[in-house]
C-alpha cells in the first residue's frame, strides 16, 4: 500500500476534521464517482447571476429580466396579479408551489430558481 505524504489535515477545535488530498490522488482512489456537473436543465446563465450579484435581484426577477419578460406577462401566465408577482420577486425564497408555477411560466426548470 502506498502511504500519501502530501495530505493536509484541517483541524476544528483542536481535532482533525478534514483531510485534503491532491486531486490526482482523489481520482486514483475514487475516479469520477463523486464528481457531478449540473445538467443544462439545472444550470443558470452567467447573465442571470450577474443580475443577482450586481443588481441584488432575486433569482425570480433575474430570470424574468434575462428572458425579457414583463411582470404583467409572467403574472398572466401564472394566473396572478402583477403586484403579487412583484411580491414574489422581492422574496428571497418563495414557497415550493410558487417556485413551480413561476418556473413553468418562465419556461425553466424549478431547480434553476433555488
How many domains does the structure of the chain reveal? Answer: 2
Whether 54 and 106 map to the same domain: the answer is yes
Considering the domain architecture, whether residues 53 and 17 belong to the same structural domain is answered as no
pLDDT number for residue 31: 75
Alpha-carbon distance values, 75 to 46, 57, 81, 84, 114 (Å):
25, 18, 6, 8, 19
Rounded to an integer, the average pLDDT of 87-106 is 94
Prediction pTM value:
0.65
Residue 109 and residue 54 share a domain: yes
Q: Which residues contact 104 (CB under 8 A, 6 or more apart)?
A: 77, 78
Residues 6+ apart with CB under 8 A from 89: 57, 58, 60, 61, 64, 71
| 67 in the same domain as 32 | no
* Same structural domain, 9 and 57: no
The answer to whether residues 2 and 53 belong to one domain is no
pLDDT computed for residue 33 by the predictor: 67
- Which pLDDT band, with edges at 50, 70 and 90, does 25 fall under? confident
Q: Is residue 41 part of a domain?
A: no
Cα angle 61, 65, 67; round to 5? 120
Given a cut of 90, is residue 37 above it in pLDDT?
A: no
Residue 36 has pLDDT above 70, yes or no: no
Q: What domain range is 10 assigned to? A: 1-36
Q: Are 43 and 36 in contact (CB under 8 A)?
A: no
107 & 57 share domain: yes
The reply to whether 103 and 79 lie within a common domain is yes
For residue 88, the domain's CATH number is 1.10.260.40
Q: Are residues 51 and 107 in the same domain?
A: yes
Task: Verify that 51 and 85 share a domain, yes or no.
Answer: yes
For the chain, give the percent of residues with pLDDT over 70: 86
31 and 50 in one domain? Answer: no
Q: Is the pLDDT of residue 11 over 80?
A: yes
Question: Using one digit for the tens of pLDDT, what is the confidence trace for 38-75?
Answer: 555 678 999 999 999 999 999 999 999 999 999 999 99
**Contact of 26 with 19, CB cutoff 8 Å:** no
Amino acid at each position: 500500500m502506498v502511504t500519501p505524504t502530501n495530505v493536509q489535515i484541517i483541524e476544528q477545535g483542536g481535532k482533525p476534521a478534514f483531510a485534503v488530498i491532491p486531486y490526482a490522488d482523489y481520482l486514483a482512489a475514487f475516479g469520477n464517482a463523486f464528481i457531478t456537473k449540473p445538467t443544462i436543465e439545472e444550470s443558470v446563465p452567467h447573465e442571470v447571476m450577474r443580475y443577482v450579484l450586481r443588481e441584488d435581484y432575486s433569482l425570480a426577477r433575474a430570470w424574468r429580466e434575462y428572458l425579457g419578460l414583463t411582470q404583467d406577462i409572467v403574472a398572466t401566465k401564472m394566473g396572478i396579479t402583477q403586484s403579487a408577482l412583484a411580491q414574489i420577486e422581492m422574496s428571497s425564497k418563495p414557497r415550493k408551489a410558487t417556485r413551480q408555477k413561476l418556473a413553468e411560466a418562465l419556461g425553466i426548470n424549478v431547480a434553476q430558481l433555488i
